[in-house]
Structure 1
Amino acid sequence: MTLKRIFLRLVLVVLISGIHSYEIPQATLVAFKPRGFQVSIPDSDGVQIFAFHGNVNKEMANREAGEMSVDILRPKNGRWVYENPRIRLKVGDVINYWLYVQVDGLGYPKDDLTWKVTELVDKDSSQATTPSTPTPGKCELSHTTVNGVRKCENELVFEETFDNLQRPKWENVVQFGGDPGYPFVLYTNKDDNCFVRNGFLHIKPTLQSDDDVTSGAQHLSGCTGTPNSEECTKRAAGGFYLPPVFSAQLRTKQSFSFCYGKVEIKAKLPVGDWIFSELLLQPKELAYGSKPKLTSGQINLALLRGNKDLVSNGQQIGAKCLHGVCELAMNDVCHREDFNETRQSLWSGAFHVYGATWTPDYIAFTVDGSEIGRVVPPRGGLHTVSEFSSFPSNPWATGTKLAPFDKEFYIGLGLGVGGFTEFPDDSTSGSYRKPWKNGEAKAIAKFWNKQSEWYPTWNDADSTLQVDYVRVWALPKNP
């Protein structure tokens, strides 16, 4: 590209500043083996040019042309796609790039973007398939709704690749861990606990000081929980300790929720005693009740307990055993559909794609494209399962057979520690027993006082949840 063309683009950017509201969507980048590279964005009305400028393992000097510099003049299958079949990339390479899109004669840049190669894929594999965007005028409506609106079948309705942390797309949960599960954490918006680096979201646990845990008091500014409740204000007293772990949880509650669809989250799960992963779908509205919150349901796409050697009832339940979980509860009675996949090595040792296909008839959990389990409601609906069959009044009876999983849910990404639901009381981790009992008043104190046993198993590199991307597609017409 000539300097003159770049100059003209900069002039266009200056002229349109403050006039137009188009925002370049997240790009999808793929590295092929043994060579080749592809980047694309979805098409939308008015787009005339898509331009990509990038360097491999070298910083971009402002809006320089870069080693890769190309204009794409027409879309393909609903996407604007640039493909370089010659470049040879390897895992660990970093592409620094910027994008330019011309829409209705006006130019829009997106600067200072970074993508790290974490895997090389076969060009004909499912991971190398460019997500489709329906051709305008040929939309077959899906069962999927997004923020209350029906979407076209197979449409990519949400994509996040964590080139940066977009606000207000992602909101930090700020509150003490509570219902459901009551984890021993304080979810914060601190940069130490939640940050984006080299194209990955990182969520990392840190510890409070001993004085704050054993004798402190905290009132959370900007609390996202119920005002004036224990979700926002707590005081340590008489052996009742404050949650000792700072962690984070991001959510799309205010920006994106959907009902039915296919979701995939590529992540490296954390390891460390009594840590667990939270790749959640949670209800946008508590349509079926709020006490307990699981009355309106919750889905965890990838629950992994971080203890490397955790045994309960003679079974391995730690970081070699991955779970996909649907939970619902009524009157403190909980029903849990739990599917697991056990292997010889730790699930936390590498990135995997955790997913679910959520339809009006079932919810299927997948790992790297392979199904590990499926929730299929009984003929009468989930409200007729044995735990709830004797209840005289059941709000799920007013919904579909999949209720409460028939309303819009949002995405949550987080890291929990301890709590009352994820670790059975008979658990042993290596040479020591779980130090607290689920539900007991001084559980946090017993956990904290055994810090010398569990904290040495944590480290910055491995005890961090890392997320590469999140994608959601509308269902096909007949899933």
Structure 2
Amino acid sequence: MFCIFKMQFMCLLFLMGCFVALVYAYEENDIQVIVKGKEVEISVHDNPEVKTFFFSMDIGEECTSDYKFVHNHEKNSTFFYKIDINKELRKDDSLRIIGIFETKDKVIAKTYDLIIDGSGRGVKQDIPKRSDCVLSETIVNSKEQPCSQVLIFKEDFDLGLSGWTYERRSRIFDPVPVQEFVAYVNNTYLYKGHLYLNANWVNDTYFRLDGCTSKHNGDKNILKRQCGPLSLRGGVTIPPVHSAKLHSSFTFKYGRVEIRARMPIGDWLFPYLILQPEGTYSEDNYVNHLRIAYARGNKKLQDNNAMPIGGDVLFGSAVLWSMNGSKEYMTIKRNLNEAPFGEKFHIYTLIWHKDRIIFKVDGLKYGTITHPDVLRTFDLNECFIVLGLTAGGGLNFRQDYLMPQQVKFMNGSVKATELFAENTKEKPWEQPNLVIDYVHVYTTHANEE
């Protein structure tokens, strides 16, 4: 996650080592970092023994080129340095300070790994000490992470959605029968540290989506279907549901993802908590992906073997596409005699290893995927995180998977959208939102279960 020590640091230590002893120890509260927009203030205080102070600063993945030398004390024997980094730091951004302190008879070197909190202060990360470090499998931005059990991505939805990008387009007839009966818009809001993704019915007779993110490759027909303008005449279908889907800029390969969320409740609603390979688009229709967890919104729903697959059944899966269509490798937890997964928050966990993918809920493991096709497919790329809420769809509610008498619309029919709206509106959605408390990603090691 962070840049490695630079050559200047090694040279500096060598030169100092010629006349002083090198020691790796220092008090925990010896440094203070405060961020004010593009300005970073660094203070070293309450230690009159320190004569000079060198430091280098790495911001996320960006390395600085050299060390700053601070000689003069401020009041109370405090070193103080203010630097303009030409980049505005935000909450949860990472910062590494490499400090070298010279006292009367020794040189002390220490690395500070910090996360910027909501007030702009640098807060120490809980990174294992070297003696406790278990080698990590995880890769971030093509760089191997040294230690496992380290938090590398933290989204608590306290301050905006700066690290996320919305998908904006209609999914009607795109393509049939995989279509979903929604248009993805910015249908979200933040409240008390929770992200709400909402689905609501609309009665529009005209559809046009400014800022459309369609990947139409110059095809004007696709562009019009996904972005508009469309008018309700001549057999044209207008999306009856508006919802939301967004994806992270953060990518990683191998690791532990934890999402605390409450599933939606309502017929044919479907949550997206997904890992999707870098190099693909959130807008792609036929794309391999890992489904961290999902529970369908229907309170009662059965497959064609009369097995329940409604809101009290949890799935984790991998979806692979080929010329023959999609294949889903599923793990299942049946929450029989308990409340549906939409009635309260649960922690959904996926642990992505090189040789297996583990699915957990509230700390309990309920499934593992070891199929070589799945492992080989997702070994190729880092993945980004997708969060979304949709309605219907031939992939999420396959016609050949459902008990026939329970579905009154055919995903591939010309009138599918109208029939979906007519039949679904008969029973109002009880809880038409996916609510997410947090998304955390940690480095993992080969033996983590």
Q: Please, what TM-score do these two structures have when normalized by structure 2?
A: 0.68
Helix, strand or coil for the counterpart of 1:248?
strand
Distance across 2 between alignment mates of 1:358 and 1:445:
40
Offset of residue 187 of structure 1: 0.5
Helix, strand or coil for the counterpart of 1:444?
helix
Offset of residue 42 of structure 1: 7.5
Distance across 2 between alignment mates of 1:311 and 1:346:
15
For residues 242-253 of structure 1, the aligned pairs below 5 Å read 242-252=238-248
- Partner residue of 2:121? 101
* Matched residue type, 1:336: E
Offset of residue 340 of structure 1: 1.2
**Alignment partner of 1:341 is 2:330:** no
Distance across 1 between alignment mates of 2:180 and 2:210:
20
Task: Show CA shifts across 1:135-174 (max 9, x none).
Answer: 589977633222222222222110100102232x111111
| Closer/same/farther in 2, CA of residues 45 and 135 from structure 1, 3 Å limit | farther
Offset of residue 242 of structure 1: 2.1
For residues 10-409 of structure 1, the aligned pairs below 5 Å read 13=36, 16=39, 19-20=84-85, 21=87, 23=89, 25-26=91-92, 44-45=96-97, 99-101=119-121, 132-135=126-129, 142-154=136-148, 155-167=150-162, 169-177=163-171, 178=174, 181-189=178-186, 193-209=187-203, 211-212=204-205, 216-218=206-208, 220-227=209-216, 228=220, 229=222, 230-233=225-228, 235=230, 236-252=232-248, 255-286=249-280, 293-294=286-287, 297-313=288-304, 314-343=306-335, 344=337, 345-377=339-371, 381-382=372-373, 402-409=376-383
Distance across 1 between alignment mates of 2:118 and 2:251:
29
Percent identity, aligned pairs only, is: 29
Distance across 1 between alignment mates of 2:136 and 2:37:
40
Task: Show CA shifts across 1:251-300 (max 9, x none).
Answer: 11xx211111110100011101110111111122149xx98623xx1111
Task: Show CA shifts across 1:308-341 (max 9, x none).
Answer: 1122331211111111111001013322111111
* Matched residue type, 1:267: A
Assess if the C-alpha contact under 8 Å between 2:331 and 2:369 holds in 1. Answer: no
- Partner residue of 1:422? 396
| Closer/same/farther in 2, CA of residues 15 and 469 from structure 1, 3 Å limit | closer
Distance across 2 between alignment mates of 1:162 and 1:241:
35
Distance across 2 between alignment mates of 1:407 and 1:423:
28
Distance across 2 between alignment mates of 1:416 and 1:373:
25
Distance across 2 between alignment mates of 1:438 and 1:445:
11
Assess if the C-alpha contact under 8 Å between 1:134 and 1:152 holds in 2. Answer: no
* Matched residue type, 1:468: D
Offset of residue 25 of structure 1: 4.3
Distance across 1 between alignment mates of 2:411 and 2:35:
61
- Partner residue of 1:447? 420
Offset of residue 132 of structure 1: 3.6
Distance across 2 between alignment mates of 1:15 and 1:205:
38
| Closer/same/farther in 2, CA of residues 427 and 407 from structure 1, 3 Å limit | same
Assess if the C-alpha contact under 8 Å between 1:240 and 1:442 holds in 2. Answer: no
Helix, strand or coil for the counterpart of 1:221?
coil
Root-mean-square deviation over aligned CA pairs? 3.8
| Closer/same/farther in 2, CA of residues 143 and 205 from structure 1, 3 Å limit | same
Offset of residue 240 of structure 1: 4.5
- Partner residue of 1:433? 406
Assess if the C-alpha contact under 8 Å between 2:268 and 2:296 holds in 1. Answer: yes
Offset of residue 447 of structure 1: 0.7
* Matched residue type, 2:313: C
Offset of residue 131 of structure 1: 7.6
Distance across 2 between alignment mates of 1:447 and 1:234:
22
Assess if the C-alpha contact under 8 Å between 1:77 and 1:133 holds in 2. Answer: no
In the comparison of the two structures, how many residue pairs are matched? 349
> What runs of 5+ residues in structure 2 fail to find an aligned partner?
1-31, 41-82, 100-109
Q: Please, what TM-score do these two structures have when normalized by structure 1?
A: 0.64
Assess if the C-alpha contact under 8 Å between 2:97 and 2:112 holds in 1. Answer: no
Assess if the C-alpha contact under 8 Å between 1:279 and 1:303 holds in 2. Answer: yes
Distance across 1 between alignment mates of 2:444 and 2:301:
37
Assess if the C-alpha contact under 8 Å between 1:143 and 1:477 holds in 2. Answer: yes
| Closer/same/farther in 2, CA of residues 134 and 434 from structure 1, 3 Å limit | same
**Alignment partner of 1:468 is 2:437:** yes
